[in-house]
Structure 1
Amino acid sequence: MRWKIAQFVFCEKSQTLNDKGTTIILEPLSVEVLAYFCRNPNVMISRDVLIAEVWNGRIVTDNAVTRVITKLRKALADKLESPQFIATFPKKGYKFVAEVTPLDEYSEALPLSSPNNLSSNRMHTEKWVQYLVVFMLAVCGLLVWLWVSSAPQPVSSGISYRIGALTRGVDREFHPAASPNGRYLAYSAFNADQIRLLLKDIESQETLEIGDQHGWSGPAAWSSDGTQLVYLNTTRDACKYYLLTLANLVVTERKLIHNCPKGSHGKIIFGRKPHTFIYAEAGSAGSPFSIFEINVSTGDVRRLPQPELVLGGNSQFDLHPTENKLLISSPNRQQWLNIYSLDLTNDELRHLFELREYTCCAIWDHTGMRVVIQGEHPAKELISFNLDGKDRAVLFQVPHSVSSPSRIPNSAHYAYVGGEVNRDIYVHSFATQTSKVIIDSAIDDWLPVISQDGKNLAFMSDRSGNEEIWIRERGQTFERKLTSYNDGRHYFDLQWSPDGKLIAGMTINEIHLTDAVNGNWRKLKIPHEELVAISWKDNQTLSFSIKKSGQWILHHYRIDNDQLTAASGDWQFARYAISSNDSLWIDHNDNAFYGESRTHLELAELRILQNKRLNLVKKGDSVFYTALDSSGSQLMQADVKAKHIVPLFKVDNPSGLSINESEIYYSLRVNGDTNIYRTERSNRGNIKSD
C-alpha cells in the first residue's frame, strides 16, 4: 500500500519514504508502525495497543516502542515539541496528526474499461482465483502430508509457557539466582563503572543491594536452605569469593572464603557436602578457567576432574537438582560445545554429547534427566535434550534474546536473561577531533571495517532477522545487504582484502571469504580449531593464528591454492598493513614489535587479544588499543616516539574498530537493557506475556 503523508509518499512494499526525489529506507518495524498510524489517523493509540497490533503482543522492552517512534520522527523531520506528524500524549499514547491519503499503487497499470466490463472481469477473475486457491491448498496439503509422514520431526516440549518479568530496572540485569522457596531473587546489575549484587523480594518488590560497594559483584548462588548466599567480587587488584548469611533481606554476616588470582573472574556454588563449595578461577587474566572444590572448614582445595582446557576453559557448570553431580559445558579443540557429567562422589567424568552449534551454558532440567540450554546464536529460544544429545525439544521461543537460564527451585519454572542490544556505528575524524554517528538504526549494528581505499564500510547487522554483512558506500546515506547467509553464523571479525574485492569473516572455528560485490562466499580449507587474529598479508595471503600444544602459532593461507603454512619466526600473532612500518608482530612473551626492523613497542598492561581480535592497530607514530577503566572500555592512543598515552573516547568493547589515515570507525552501545524473566507453565495456548 502507498500513502500520501503531507509532502511524503510512503510505500509499505518497498519500505521507503520519498520526499521530492529523496528516498529514505525505513526499517521493518518503522514501516509497520507508520502503516498502522496511516490506517488510524487522528486516533489516540496507547502504547499497549501499539504493542498488541504491531508487535502482536510479543514481549518487548519498555523503550522498544520509544526507539521506533524516535526513528520515525527523525525520518519525517518531526519535532517532539511542535509535532506535525506524531504527537505524544503523556500516559495516554500517540496520535498521528498529519493529513493522510491512501494512494492506489495499481491504478496506473489498469486498462481502460467500462464499469460493466470491469465488473464482469472481476467476477471471472474471482472465480478463477477461487479455483486456483482450492487447487493450491490441495497440493500443499498433499505435500505436507508426504513430508510429515516421511521426514524426521522436530520435537516440541508439548508444554505452553507464560513469560513474566522479574526485574524491570534501568540497568543491565543478569546472573539470576532464585532462592529455594522462590520468594527472593539475587541478581547482578551493571551501571556505569560497577556491577552491583541485588536481592529482590518478589512478593513485596523490595530490592536491596547486598554485595560489596566497589568493583563487580556476582554471580551468586543460594544454599539449599535459603539462609546463605555465596558470590564473587572482583576489582582491578583483587578477586574474592564471599559467603553471606541472611535473615530475610538483612545481611547478618559477610565472610571471605577464598582469594582467587588477580584478573580472574568465575562463579561459585554450594556443594552437596557440608562446608564445601565448587568454583571456577583462572590462573591469571586471559588464561583458561579450571573448576575446583574447597572445604572451608579444613581449607583443603582440589582441582576436580574436568575436560581439557580449550578457549576460556571450564567456567560453566551446574549442580544436579538432587544428586551429587556436575554438568559441565566445555568447548573441544574443534570449538564445538561438549556436555559432560561429573560424578562428585567417585570423580567419574562422563562425556554426554557434542553440540555443533554456537551456544553456551547448559544446565540440568528440573528432573535431572535432561539438559536445558539457550538456542544457537542469536538465541531466542530455550531448548532441551536427553542425556545422549537427542530428542531435541523447544521449551519456548520469544522475540528477544535468551541467555543464562537457571532453574527456579521447587517448581517447573526457569529464569533467564532477556533483552535487546542496539549498537550504532560512529566515525571519529582526526582532523576535527570530533565523532558523529553514521549508522543509527533501531537494530543492532556492529563490527565496522573500512576498505583500504576508504570507499566502502562493511559491518554486521541483524536488521534482516539474521546476522548479515551490510555495505555503506562513502557519500551515501543508505546501506545495502551484501549477504544472505540465513544460517545463524556469528562473525567475531571482518577484514577487507587490500584490493577491496573480498571480505574475510572469522567465526568460532571457520574463516569465510565473501565477494564484496555479489555476496557469494566460500569456506577456507582449514581444520576446525581455535582461530584468532585474522589479517591480510596481501591480496592472495590471509594470516591468522592457530593454537597448537597450548601455544598460538601464526599461519599464512594462500587463497589461490588453499595452502596453509606456519609462518617463520617465533610469532604468536601479526597484523599486516599497507605500510610495512605499520605492521605489528607479537611474540610468545606477549611483546609487541612493529616495522620491518621489528622495533620493540613498550605498552604496559596491554591485553593482546579481545574477543578473538588483535587489540592493537598502528598508524604512523600512533598505536591504538582498547583498555578497560572505571568508566568502561576506552580507546587509547599511544605515541611511539614521545611514549605518552592518552584516552580518546568510549567504545563498545566487543564490537571492534577500524582505523585508516584520517578516521576511526567504531560502534557504541546506545541501548542494551536486559531484564530477568521467568517462565511459567500455562494451561493452554502458546507463549504468553505479562
Structure 2
Amino acid sequence: MLLSGDIERELDPLLIKLITFFLQRPQQIVTREQLIEHVWQQGYVDNNAINRAISELRKKLKHPDDPAIFIKTHYRQGYSLVREVATLDNAASAAAPQTAAPELLAHTQVNTHEDKQPITPTRSKPSYAWWKYVAAVVFVAVLASAAYTLNGSAFFTPSQTTAVIAEQKPMSRHKVTWKVGSEYVPLINDSGRLLAYSNEKDASGKEGAFVLDVITRDEVAITYKDAEVAALSWQHNSDTLVIRARNATDSSCQYLAIDFKNFPELGEPKPLMECDHRFDYSGQLSNDGRYFYFIRGELYSHYIGLFRYDVYSGTTSQLIAPMADKVGPGSLSLSPDGKHIAYLQLDLDFQVEVYVYSLDTGEIKRMNSPPASFYRNSALDWYNSETLLYGDEKGRLLFIDIHSAEIAEAYALPDDIKMSDISYYDNSVYYSPLSRITYQVVALESFTEAAQYQQLYASDSSEYGLVAHSTGHYFISLRSGRPQVWHASDGQVKQISFLDHPDHALLDNLRVSPSGENIVLTEQKKPFLLDVETAKATAISELAHIPIMDWAWHESGQSLYVLSKSSSPRTLYQFDFITRELNKVRETDALQLVTGANGEVFLFKDKTLISLTDNAQYSVPCELSMSSHVPIHVRDGYAYSMDYTYNVYRWALTGERCEQVQLPFEILSAVPDADGRIIITRKISEDSSINRLMWE
C-alpha cells in the first residue's frame, strides 16, 4: 500500500518487487535484462509485459499535485529511478508524524484485490513525504511477506522428486453417464449432488453440456442460442456453473454463469466476458463472484497466460507472465477457500508439471510431483484447500501438500484406469478416460472444396506428425502397438522404423530430408537420425545438449537448422552431418522454422516469414496463435496453417488477403501435398462415459 495524506494506493506483488529493485538502485539505469533476471526471475519475459508493469508502476507513483516523473525511460538502455531515496530508519521516520506509525503498519499486508469502486484521491499540497512514504511502506511490505524478502524469490522450486510407494487401496467404480458420444470433463459441485460434464455426440466433435443430479438421476441439457456449449467449472460454495459458448460459424465466444439452485430449472445465463473461440479456455469464478480467472493464448506467440478479469470494472490483468521454455498453464483450478490457483504447466514439448499460484502473495510454487510426458496424461483437482489430488501417468493418485510441495500420500489405481480429467468428492473421483480421443488422416481434394474429403490409411490407431514429401507421406502411427514412423505412397503403407522404446514414449518433430533418404525425429526429446532404407536409428549426440524448439533440413540435405529454446533471444544453429560441426547462425526471436516444398527454409517471427536463403520477408495476414505449436507450411507460393478448432487458413506469400475454410470436425494439422490436396489430421472422439472411482 502507498500512503500520502488521505491517498491510498494498493500495489500488487509484482509492482512491490519492481519498486523494491529500483529503490535499491536510485538514479541508476536498469536494463530490461536485469528486470527479467531479478524481478520476474525468469528466462524470458515478453517486452509488452515489462512495458505494462512499468506503466502501471508509474500510475501508482504519480501524485495528483506533483507532475514530475519517478521512473524515467532511457532509449534502448532501460529505466531509472530519478528521485532520491530516504531509508525507513532515518529520514522517513523523522519526516512522518509519530501518530502515523500504527496506520502505516496496518497497511503492510500485500493485497492483490482492488476495491469495487475506483479510488478518488483527495488533493493536497505536493509533499516530499510522498516519496518517503513510498520507500517506507514498500520496504515494510516487502519484509512482511516471506515470498518477497529482498534476498528471496517469488518462485519456489522444491527438492528433487523422491520415490513414492503407492498404497494398494481397495477401490470400486461404476459408470455415471450413458449417453452416445464422448463424455468428458466431469465437474461435481461442492454439495456432491450436481455433476456437470461435456459431450461430443458425433464425429463432428461439436460440444454439448449437461448437468445431472446424481441422486435422482434427473438431467438437463444446457443450451445457449446456436452455440456449442462446454461446462468449465463450478463456483465454490454455490450452484453456479461457468460455461463457454462458442459459435465457429460467426467466431463468437462468451463465458457465462448459470445458477442451478432451482435445479432442474436453469437460471438465466449471465454473461461474464467475451472470449476468443481459438485461444480462450479453462476458467473459474472467484468465491465472491468478483473475479473470473481464465487462460488465454497469445496471437503470434507460443505462450499461454493466466489472467484475472474483474467482473465489476470490466478490466483484465495478467497474473502469470511467460516463463522460459514454458508454453504456460494448460488448465486451472481454484482452491475451495479461493486463495490459490493450481494449474498444469506445459513446456514447449508439452511435458507437464503441477504448479500453484498464491492469490495473496503472488508466489509461484512447483509441486514436487513427477512430470508427465504429455498434457492429457495427467489430471488435477483439489482434495481440500491445503492439498491437491493429482492423477499421474504412472497410474497413481497423489495427494500433494501445497505448502511443502511434497507428496503426502499416494494410491495405486487399477491397471486398466487411465484418467484425463478428475473431480473429487468424498473419497471418490469422477473421471473421464484417457483413451477417448484418436487422430486419423483425411484428404481434402482442394482448399475451396472443403466438404469433399476422404479418409486415408484406415486404422483404429492414432496417426500424427504427418509430413507431405515428394516421395509420399510420412507420419507417426500407433498401429503396431507403439509409436513408429510409417510411409505411405501409391496406396501402400509401410512401417519404416522399429524403435525399441516404452509404449508411452513420445515420438515427435518428424522431418524428412529433401531426398527422402533420411529422417530426423525426437524420442522423449532426444534427437535421432533414421536411415529410411535400413531403418537404422542413430542418436545425434552433438545436439543432445540443445533444447530443440524446432528444426528443418537445409535444402542440400547435408545439414540441419536447429532452433534452440533455451534463451531469449533464441539461437539458430546449423549442424553439418558430414563434418559433424555445429555452428551458430544467428540470434533470433523466431517462433518456428517453416520449410517450403522446394526446400527453402523460413523463420517465423513478428507476423513475418523470413527466408534464410535471401532474407526476403513475407507478411502474414492471418491471425494465428502459436500457443500450441500451430505449424505453417509453404507450397507453390502459398502458406497454410490452422487453429486447432475447425479452421484452415491460406494466404499467398506476396498477398495481403487471408482465406479461410471451415471444416465439419476438429483438426490437429493441415499440410498441403504435391497433388494439390490438404492432408488433415482430424480429431476423433470415441464413445466414452463418466465414471466414479471410490475408496474407503
Q: Provide the TM-score with structure 2 as the length reference.
A: 0.62
Q: 1:332 to 1:448 in 2, by over 3 A?
A: closer
Deviation at 1:308, TM superposition (A): 2.9
**Number of the residue aligned with 1:441:** 459
| 8 Å Cα contact 1:170-1:673 kept in structure 2 | yes
1:327 aligned onto 2:328: no
In 2 relative to 1, CA 253–592 (structure 1 residues): closer, same or farther, beyond 3 Å?
Answer: same
Shift of the alpha carbon at 1:177?
Answer: 1.0
What is the one-letter code of the residue matched to 1:678?
R
1:664-679 equivalent positions in 2, closer than 5 A: 665-669=679-683, 672-679=686-693
Q: Secondary structure at the match of 1:167?
A: coil
**Aligned pairs for 1:392-411 within 5 A:** 393=410, 395-397=412-414, 399=416, 402-407=419-424, 409-411=425-427
Could you tell me how far 1:642 is from its partner in structure 2? 12
Match of 2:169 among 136, 153, 159: 159
Aligned twin of 2:304 = 289
From 202, 220, 236, the equivalent of 2:214 is 202
Flag the 1:248–1:645 CA change in 2: closer, same or farther, 3 A: closer
| CA drift at 1:358 | 1.2
Distance verdict in 2 for CA 1:649–1:347, change over 3 Å: closer
> Whole-Å Cα distance in 2 between the matches of residues 481 and 306 of structure 1?
40
- 1:224 lines up with 2:239 in the alignment: no
CA apart distance, 1:354? 6.0
Please say if 1:384 is aligned against 2:401: no
Alignment partner, residue 557 of structure 1:
575
Determine the C-alpha separation between the residues in 2 that align with 1:532 and 1:414: 38
Aligned partner of 2:268 among 246, 253, 269: 253
Superposed CA deviations along residues 350-399 of structure 1, whole A, max 9, x for unmatched, are 333363431445535525665443444xx8x4542644555784532454
What's the CA shift string for 1:478-532, capped at 9, x where partnerless? 6465322226332343111223332222468553323332342315525464613
Residue 202 to residue 603, structure 1, CA distance change in 2 (3 Å):
same
Displacement of 1:248 in angstroms is: 0.8
Task: Work out whether residues 554 and 561 of structure 2, in 8 Å CA contact, stay in contact via their aligned partners in 1.
Answer: yes
Partner of 1:130: none
Tell me the amino acid that sits aligned with residue 594 of structure 2.
R
Please say if residues 340 and 353 of structure 1, whose CA atoms lie closer than 8 Å, have aligned partners that are also in contact: no
Q: Distance in 2 between matches of 1:215 and 1:185?
A: 21
Change (3 A) 1:671 1:220: closer
**1:173/1:336 Cα in 2 relative to 1: closer, same or farther (>3 Å)?**
closer
Which of 484, 504, 526 does residue 488 from structure 1 map onto? 504
Matched, 1:168 2:167: no
Asked if 1:541 corresponds to 2:559, the answer is yes
Match of 2:323 in 1: 308
Q: Which runs of 5+ in 2 are unaligned?
A: 1-161
How many residues align? The count is 519
Q: 2:224, 2:269 → 1: CA distance?
A: 10
Task: Give the alignment's Cα RMSD to 1 decimal.
Answer: 4.3
Instruction: Give the match for residue 585 of structure 2.
Output: 566
Task: Tell me, in whole angstroms, the C-alpha distance in 1 between the residues paired with 2:332 and 2:589.
Answer: 36
Question: Comparing 224-233 with 658-667, which one deviates more in the overlay?
Answer: 658-667
Distance 1:480 1:169, change over 3 A: farther
1:414 maps onto 2:430 in alignment: yes
* Superposed counterparts of 1:79-228, under 5 Å: 155-190=165-200, 192=204, 194-228=206-240
Q: TM-score, normalised by structure 1?
A: 0.63
Inter-CA distance 315–637: structure 2 relative to 1 (3 Å threshold): closer
CA distance in 1, matches of 2:419, 2:172: 15
CA contact (8 A) 1:239 1:264 kept: no
Gaps of 5+ in 1: 1-151, 684-690
Shift of 1:403: 0.8
Evaluate the alpha carbon distance shift between residue 285 and residue 584 of structure 1 in structure 2; reply closer, same or farther with a 3 A threshold: closer
The match for 1:244 among 251, 255, 258 is 258
Question: Displacement of 1:440 after TM fit?
Answer: 1.2
Aligned to 1:3: none
Q: Output one character per residue of 1:141-177: Cα deviation in whole Å (capped at 9) or x when no partner.
A: xxxxxxxxxxx98733322333333333334333221
Structure 1 599/278 Cα, relative in aligned 2: closer, same or farther at 3 Å? closer
Amino acid at match of 2:515: D
Corresponding position: 1:453 with 2:463: no
Aligned-residue identity in percent: 14
DSSP 3-state at the match of 1:213: coil
Query: Which residue is equivalent to 2:149?
Result: none
